[in-house]
């Protein structure tokens, strides 16, 4: 869910059923749940909807074990995910998912920069000022189109093209060096490695919280 939506982990981990509008296929976050204090709409693709858990009696949150508390086991979940990825997978952080989301939507030409900022609820440019406080639906059609395209990219992790023994996910070459080496590029790099290319599916990188 983190890599499909590009949202902050506290926003996804703390999702409540009252914030899910399945009829409109979107998340509707109130201002109090957003870092910038502004309400936010997140379009949901079919792939994202497929990751939503079943409703549990007495639980208002989608994720998390306790009825009245949101999901909080990020460190433990990431540790289990790292074990599944294997020792050859380069170190990464949960924030890399959000940063990589922004990077690749821009680099792959999926959306214009101001649309990407609207998706992740960054406030700048035309969304700044008083108008931005109330216009939570700004660029909603464009945001939905971009997330559908991004969902298609992520879906390719489940059905990769096999070429000369390698699983090809993106046509772009991975970035190299230091902090600029994004998690998605690491995925591509690891999939090219003969010891790890058959291990990873989209479920490994979606960082779906355990119920």
Q: Are 45 and 148 in contact (CB under 8 A)?
A: yes
Complete DSSP assignment for 47-102? HHHHTPPPP-TT--BSS-SSTTS----HHHHHHHHHHHH-TTSPP--THHHHHHHH
Alpha helix (H) residue ranges in the chain: 2-5, 9-13, 46-50, 74-85, 95-107, 113-119, 129-134, 140-155, 183-192, 202-205
> Reading across the β-sheet that carries 20-21, which strands appear in turn?
20-21, 26-29, 40-43
Residue 17 DSSP SS3? helix
**Residue 129, CB half-sphere, CA atoms under 13 Å: how many?**
4
User: Any idea which residues carry the catalytic annotation?
Assistant: 8, 35, 95, 98, 122, 134
Compute, in degrees rounded to 10, the torsion defined by CA atoms 188, 120, 41, 111: -70
């Amino acid at each position: 869910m983190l890599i499909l939506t590009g949202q902050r982990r506290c926003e996804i981990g703390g999702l409540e059923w009252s914030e899910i509008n399945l009829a409109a296929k979107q998340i509707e976050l109130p201002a109090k749940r957003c870092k910038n204090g502004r309400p936010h709409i997140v379009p949901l693709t079919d792939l994202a909807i497929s990751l939503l858990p079943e409703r549990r009696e007495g639980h208002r949150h989608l994720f998390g074990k306790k009825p009245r508390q949101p999901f909080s086991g990020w460190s433990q979940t990431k540790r289990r995910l790292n074990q599944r990825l294997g020792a050859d997978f380069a170190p990464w952080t949960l924030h890399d998912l959000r940063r990589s989301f922004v990077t690749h939507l821009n680099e792959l030409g999926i959306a214009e920069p101001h649309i990407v900022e609207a998706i992740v609820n960054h406030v700048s440019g035309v969304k700044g000022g008083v108008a931005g406080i109330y216009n939570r639906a700004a660029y909603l059609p464009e945001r939905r189109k971009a997330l559908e395209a991004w969902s298609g990219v992520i879906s390719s992790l489940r059905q990769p093209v096999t070429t000369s023994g390698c699983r090809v996910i993106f046509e772009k070459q991975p970035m190299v060096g230091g902090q600029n080496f994004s998690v998605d590029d690491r995925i591509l790099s690891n999939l090219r490695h003969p010891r790890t290319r058959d291990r990873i599916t989209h479920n490994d990188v979606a960082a779906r919280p355990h119920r």
